[in-house]
Amino acid sequence: MKTRRRGFIKNAFLAGGAAGLCAQTGCSSLAGLQIGRKGSMAGFRAEPLERVRVGIIGVGHRGSSAVRRLANIPKVEIAAISDLIEERAARQVKALADMGKPAPAAYSGSSEEWRKLCESNAVDLVYICTPWLWHTPMAVYAMRCGKHAAVEVPAAMTLEQCWELVDTAEETRRHCMMLENCCYGENEMFALMLCRKGVLGDLVHGEAAYIHDLRQLKLARDEKTGYQGQWRLNWSIQHTGNPYPTHGLGPVCQYMGINRGDRFEYITSVSSAQFGLSLAAEKAGGKTPKGRQAYKLGDMNTSVIRTYRGRTIMVQHDTTSPRPYSRINLISGTKGTLADYPLRVALEPKSHQWMDDKALANLKARYTHPLWAKSGEAAKKAGGHGGKDYLMDLRLCHCLLNGLPLDIDVYDTALWSSLVELSELSVLRNGSSVKVPDFTRGAWKTSDPLDIVSV
């Protein structure tokens, strides 16, 4: 755990000292902000924006697609772009010009340039698409500069960082949303409708996963075909547990109303030994350092969470095994069960078998989520994982334009991310249970449930 507590915190921009850094650089939009908790962010409504002026940090594969999506949303302007590599930033500036959009400010060429984007008075929302060790420092700095922060997953890699996000959002009264696109998937929002309308009865158990064979990406020889700086492979060398829990977990938490009427109580986690990555590295690298390297991350991690209301959630992570992609996406209640990959539903009184295709199609048509009913076709044309990326951005900007609470608030952001360290702690303690912090500080007891959201 020393790597996280000392190595990264010390070396990656001293995240805990973001306020001091902002003061040193003369962050002009800090004027009037007072440091110190000002109350809960549950249901928080920021002042409505006339336009959402977005600054995007990191325009590699993920960030460049965000530029295209956001630029096509009404009342949204890409005001600034930052990337370590100048060529990538310039490419996105040109792409916007080709679309007939105003040229954004560009910040690149050093590892410090992103700070200028956060400090700019021309930016309302900082949209962070960098490797995960940068997520918390950048989100914290953005909020300290008076900006809302939207950050890729996971938003934090340690419990300390989770609390830092929560404390900073509460102090600055700025939104901090993790960009968990899977919460906006068509099947996930259909499942949310079944849960909200009581079709599945009282919810009892959920299952979530990130099962995705990433061996080639992890072990790629260059940054064009893999991860810049091999940041994901480096994590596999240094850590065990579940480093990427949120894709499957986020939707299940929304089904169950976690942080809004229920909360996580404790987690137990076990990991298999590491097999597949060494074999793949040996084939890819032979007697090179990759082939000889020891990897701590087990091929399969399985965690089980118990909630305060007595419900359970299983969360799995496997990015090594030769298995088809799956997030499992299962939710089970006293009247029925929905399972995904492929999508299936079983309901009382015929719950001993899955619905046939016709019955499932009828059910799905009856309970199509309004966000998909209204904007689904536009989302599919816009692209981004079948349209869910576009709907996530569309909904985020709608909430900022209208001063509405976000669907994924800072407490969700922290809680879902906290499994990174919590799962590793449990694995290192031979599967012993670990208590989950209450990032809402008790607000989960009175928070309103997530609305059936629309635009």
* pLDDT tens by residue, 58-71: 999 899 999 999 99
Is 291 a residue whose pLDDT tops 80?
Answer: no
Phi, psi dihedrals of residue 374, rounded to the nearest 5°: -85, -40
Q: In the structure, what pLDDT confidence band is assigned to residue 289 with cuts at 50, 70 and 90?
A: low
Query: Is residue 418 within 8 Å of residue 334, measured between CB atoms?
Result: no
Residue among 439, 14, 2, 49 nearest 259 (CA):
439
Percent of the chain past pLDDT 90, that is, above it, reads 83
- In whole angstroms, give the CA distance from residue 206 to residue 197: 17
Rounded Cα–Cα distance for residues 423 and 233 (Å): 18
Instruction: Please calculate the CA angle 366-370-371 and round it to the nearest 5 degrees.
Output: 135
Residue 16 has pLDDT above 50, yes or no: no
Q: What predicted TM-score, i.e. pTM, was given to this entire model?
A: 0.91
Q: What is the pLDDT of residues 152-173, one digit of tens each?
A: 999 999 999 999 999 999 999 9
* Mean pLDDT computed over 289-304: 88
β-strand partners of 176: 149
Please, which contacts does 39-43 make with residues 24 or more away whose CB atoms are closer than 8 Å?
39/170, 40/170, 40/440, 40/441, 40/443, 41/166, 41/169, 41/170, 41/173, 41/175, 41/409, 41/410, 41/411, 42/259, 42/409, 42/411, 42/440, 42/443, 42/444, 42/446, 42/447, 43/405, 43/447, 43/448
Contact 117, 123 (CB under 8 A): yes
